Amino acid sequence: MKMRRPALWASLMVGAAAAHIFFTRGVAGAFLPRLSQAFLLAPVISLLVALTVIPALSLLILAGERPKGPSAAVGWLQRNYDRVSAWAVGAILPATIVFVVVILAGLVAIPFLDRARTPSFEERDLLIQIEAAPGTSLVRMD
């Protein structure tokens, strides 16, 4: 139950990250949308399985089990998370400065990124396949 909202937001972020592919033009635009549809379909199906099948199976498998208390590692993590998150909420200015510096560094780095790693899709071969009933001449096919 606790994981439904984070799983939904994670799936939406994957979709937002891949949405730009649908607006690609040129030869790459002819191939990439189909690929991205498959890429986006996988998290959607995974989300549906996580929200429906997994809870049902866990209910069947763990029907007779008694819940156990959290382990010592969970307690340690919760204590430290509470301490660090309390500091982060109280220190909003340093967190904002770090965020702005990281964003500016990313924007400054954009012109220096290597664009040669993206495929050029400059295939010069062309295959034309014509299908018709046996015995049909080229004149009739026009």
Cβ-count burial 1-28 (b if 16+ within 10 Å, e if not): eeeeeeeeeebeebeeebeebeeeeeee
Asked if 7 and 43 touch (Cβ cutoff 8 Å), the reply is: no
Q: What share of the chain is helix, strand, coil (3-state, %, to 5)?
A: 75, 0, 25
Asked if 118 and 31 touch (Cβ cutoff 8 Å), the reply is: no
Tell me the mean pLDDT per 10 residues along the chain, length 142: 76 82 75 81 86 88 80 87 82 86 93 69 72 72 59
**Is the pTM higher than 0.75?**
no
pLDDT score, position 8 = 80
Q: Which of 27, 33, 46 is nearest to 121 (CA)?
A: 27
d(CA 32, CA 18): 10
> So where are the chain's domains?
1-67, 69-112
Taking CA atoms, 43 is separated from 9, 11, 39, 108, 115, in Å, by 11, 6, 8, 32, 28
Angle formed at CA 82 by CA 73 and CA 51, multiple of 5 degrees? 70
